[in-house]
Amino acid sequence: MIDPLFALSGFAVGMLVGLTGVGGGSLMTPLLILLFGVHPATAVGTDLLYAAATKTGGSLVHGFAHSIDWRVVRRLASGSIPATVATLAALSLLNLNGETASSLITLVLSVALFVTAGVLVFGEKIIAAYRARVTAVEPERTALNTVLVGAALGVLVSISSVGAGAIGVVALVLLYPQLPMAKIVGSDIAHAVPLTLAAGLGHWMIGSVDWAIIVSLLAGSLPGILIGSSFAIRIPERTLRLVLAATLVVVASRIVYDQATTASSIFTAFTGRAVP
């Protein structure tokens, strides 16, 4: 059965994704943790499979429009898929319901949200500064750097579900300044499909996926993405990105605060003293 609250949340996130183009991971995972009290590991695993479904639709659209550079996708995937497998293997050794796994996931998630917010605000300046200093890069070095970026995204996405959107796009713009923006975005979305699917299936195998939540989120997000996309051209993109960046900073700060409060309580319980 579809839970109306999850469906409504999916609709809201879908609207924002349609308006800004930023991946739902930076929005949905914190929402599941903070608003619905879902365990961080389950929130990440659930969001990854939810993202795989939504990004498949976006990838098909870009594929029909011939706005995907499959060479770039293959390079990214050759780094991200092995890194995803290794990261999930390491996570499986932890008790995902324990404090260690929860703290690791929320820490990486907070960092990823802060970085995403920074990219949304300063991404254009970073790209301009890079292009002013670097005029040409050897093709072999570009290929290697792309694989390394894919590996970094694999680790980041597997732990936090965040990174395949805004961070991936900026990395590709820096690596392939000659590619049109449509192909940058299309290639990033196409790579996100196998990445989120592999990571999501891995989380499912280690027991950190809630399928009922996924169905409810998709029921709301798919129409939300369509409606948000239709309004995207009517609202200044810069304004949307600044608002979204501010939201991500607030959310990341709240997660850090909650973790600090939990750590303080544990310290007090074990030592009988308050944190200095």
Q: Let me know: does 252 contact 107? Beta carbons within 8 Å.
A: no
Residue listed under structure tokens 């192909």: 183
Structure-token pair, residue 134? 């670097």
pLDDT at 151: 96
Instruction: Compute how many other C-beta atoms are within 10 angstroms of the C-beta atom of residue 126.
Output: 15
pTM above 0.85, yes or no: no
The whole-number pLDDT of residue 236 equals 67
Structural domain spans, the chain:
4-263
pLDDT at 48: 92
Q: So what's the pLDDT on residue 21?
A: 60
| The pLDDT of residue 269 | 47
State the residue for tokens 């579900």.
161
Output the six-digit token pair for 232.
């995207």
C-beta separation of 160 from 25 below 8 A: yes
pLDDT at res. 209: 92
Residue 136: per-residue pLDDT: 67
Whose tokens are 């930023």? That residue is 22
The list of the chain residues with pLDDT below 70 reads 18-25, 135-136, 229-238, 240-241, 259, 261-276
CA angle 81, 85, 90 (to 5 degrees): 145
pLDDT confidence of residue 183: 87
Q: What distance in Å separates the CA atoms of residue 57 and residue 36, rounded to the nearest whole number?
A: 27
The per-residue b/e assignment along 210-219, b for 16 or more CB within 10 angstroms, e otherwise, is: beebbbbbbb
Determine the Cα–Cα distance for residues 74 and 126; give it in Å rounded to an integer: 25
Query: CA angle, 85 as apex, 75 and 59 as ends, to 5°?
Result: 50
In 3-state terms, what secondary structure has residue 94?
coil
pLDDT at residue number 210: 92
C-alpha distances (whole Å) from 139 to each of 25, 90, 191 are: 31, 33, 20
Q: Are 197 and 142 in contact (CB under 8 A)?
A: no
The pLDDT value recorded for residue 156 is: 92
Angle at 19 between CA 159 and CA 164, to 5 degrees: 25
Q: What is the pLDDT of residue 267?
A: 43
